[in-house]
């Protein structure tokens, strides 16, 4: 929901409550029962973590119009994430690229098509998994995310993962692996082995965009994904 629509809805609800309260004072108790006021997530509350969302949709609505970091100034769309809210497997990338920014959807374009092929080979589709990024807004020129941007945005990823509660996480590329595992080890040393993020087994692997430039990386990625498939079939 856009900020404007949200505030308009809130205004209408407030006016409705005021009318009902007036009618109650005039003795119309029997025709109405005022509902207990529901806590309503405002953009500010959700951004400050004051209100804990119960669903991904609530979290996404609370993120609308986010301006917690400077990436908000140039983005076209917040790319929240997409897929199955009850996914057993969540894939986490770095940040939306240009095409994702245009469409508001994660992993489209050539890297996204390659990711779809990897999922297909695993006998999975986008409807089975959930795909998101550490940062929800596009860094200009695909530059590396900056520390203040990560600090501002990472809590939303944490909330996403807490709401989905996946059995497994796969990080795509160096940045997501290093960020979730709080390490500076290179991706070549991290991939291929199981790690843990807040109690959830995590497999780092190469980013599909890297595979487009370095096709030799496809074999190790497939080895990593075979480990993921084995674990999914065990659980
Ligand atoms: S990157 Fe995250 S914190 Fe920064 S403006 Fe976008 S949604 Fe908000």
Whether residue 126 lies inside any domain: the answer is yes
Q: Which amino acid residue places its CA nearest to atom 7 of ligand 1?
A: 136
Q: Is the pLDDT of residue 134 over 50?
A: yes
For the CA of 75, the closest atom of ligand 1 is 6
Q: Is 11 helix (H, G, I), strand (E, B) or coil?
A: helix
Mean of the per-residue pLDDT values of the chain = 85
Our measurement of the distance from residue 230's CA atom to the centroid of its chain's CA atoms, rounded to an integer in Å, reads 25
Whether residue 188 lies inside any domain: the answer is yes
Length of the chain measured in residues: 235
Q: Is the pLDDT of residue 161 over 80?
A: yes
d(CA 93, CA 106): 9
Q: Is the pLDDT of residue 30 over 80?
A: no
Give the domain CATH number at 214. 3.40.470.10
Q: Which of the listed residues 152, 154, 157, 160 should we mutate to test ligand 1's pocket, taking the one with most ligand atoms within 8 A of CB?
A: 152
Question: What whole-number percentage of the chain has pLDDT above 70?
Answer: 78
The two three-digit tokens of residue 132, written as one number: 């998101």
Whether residue 118 lies inside any domain: the answer is yes
Whether residue 32 lies inside any domain: the answer is no
Q: What is the mean pLDDT of residues 160-183?
A: 97
- Centre of ligand 1 to C-alpha 164, Å, is 20
Cβ 129 vs Cβ 59: under 8 Å: no
Whether residue 27 lies inside any domain: the answer is no
Cβ 181 vs Cβ 195: under 8 Å: yes
Counted domains in the chain: 1
The two three-digit tokens of residue 133, written as one number: 């990024």
Q: Is the pLDDT of residue 23 over 90?
A: no
CB of residue 69 inside a 6 A radius of ligand 1: yes
- Centre of ligand 1 to C-alpha 70, Å, is 8
Which pTM value belongs to this model?
A: 0.80
Instruction: Provide the pLDDT for residue 38.
Output: 40
At 173-220, the pLDDT tens digits run 999 999 999 999 999 999 999 999 999 999 999 999 999 999 999 999
Point out which residues pair with 200 in neighbouring strands: 197
At 57-116, the pLDDT tens digits run 999 999 999 999 999 999 999 999 999 999 999 999 999 999 999 999 999 999 999 999
Residue in this structure with the two tokens 């006016």, named with its chain if needed: 15
Cβ 135 vs Cβ 176: under 8 Å: no
Whether residue 30 lies inside any domain: the answer is no
Instruction: Provide the pLDDT for residue 44.
Output: 52
**Number of neighbouring beta carbons within 10 Å of residue 188:** 12
Q: Which of the listed residues 3, 43, 47, 72 should we mutate to test ligand 1's pocket, taking the one with most ligand atoms within 8 A of CB?
A: 72
pLDDT band at 49 (very low <50, low <70, confident <90, very high): low
Q: Which residues of 63-80 are buried (b: 16+ CB within 10 A; e: fewer)?
A: bbebebbebeeebeebbb
Whether residue 23 lies inside any domain: the answer is no
Residue 87, domain extent: 68-234
Whether residue 36 lies inside any domain: the answer is no
d(CA 222, CA 235): 20
């Amino acid at each position: 929901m856009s900020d404007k629509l949200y505030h308009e809805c809130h205004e209408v609800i407030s006016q409705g409550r005021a009318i009902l309260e007036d009618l109650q004072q005039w003795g119309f108790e029997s025709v109405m029962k005022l509902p207990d006021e529901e806590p309503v997530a405002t953009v500010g509350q959700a951004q400050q973590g004051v209100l804990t969302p119960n669903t991904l949709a609530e979290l996404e609505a609370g993120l609308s119009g986010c301006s917690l970091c400077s990436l908000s100034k140039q983005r076209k769309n917040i790319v929240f994430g997409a897929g199955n809210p009850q996914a057993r497997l969540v894939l986490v990338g770095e940040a939306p690229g240009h095409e994702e920014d245009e469409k508001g959807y994660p992993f489209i374009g050539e890297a996204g098509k390659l990711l779809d092929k990897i999922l297909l080979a695993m006998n999975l589709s986008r409807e089975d998994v959930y795909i998101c990024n550490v940062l929800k807004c596009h860094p200009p020129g695909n530059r590396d995310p900056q520390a203040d941007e990560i600090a501002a945005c990472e809590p939303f990823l944490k909330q996403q993962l807490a709401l989905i509660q996946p059995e497994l996480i796969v990080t795509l590329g160096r940045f997501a692996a290093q960020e979730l595992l709080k390490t500076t080890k290179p991706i070549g040393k991290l991939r291929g082995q199981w790690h843990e993020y807040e109690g959830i087994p995590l497999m780092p692997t190469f980013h599909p965009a890297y595979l487009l430039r370095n096709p030799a990386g496809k074999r190790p990625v497939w080895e990593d994904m075979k480990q993921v498939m084995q674990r999914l079939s065990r659980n």
